[in-house]
Structure 1
């Protein structure tokens, strides 16, 4: 939840799906259900799931798995 102040996007490459899921262990998040947000990323999402994390400075970050290989985080 604490990252570099200027961080806007982070992509972590990992071929092992289980490892991608473990990267989020212990981080509080909520699942995104807003249809508009999901439609914007529908071609990229693995399983159609996207999550939101709130950083300690109050900024929010969208988190999703891109093409099954990248854990992506985008500051909103």
Structure 2
């Protein structure tokens, strides 16, 4: 978010009051961020409910173990 103030001036229309246009663009960006993170939190909550079941956790551990084995094998072969 630290780069946001430096990227906003390019979107201010020519001849528009700079301060009000920048404040409007910053407010729009804040609303978009709130919506994005709200959706993210909702999705994580749904995933938690799904992945907390025993079968799903076991499958996730199997997949993770398989990925780690394949990465180890690749490292051993690349030597």
What TM-score comes out, normalization by structure 2 length?
0.20
- Bigger relative contact order (CA 8 A; separation at least 6): 1
Higher Rg of the two aligned structures? 2
Higher normalized strand content (fraction of residues) = 1
Higher normalized helix content (fraction of residues) = 2
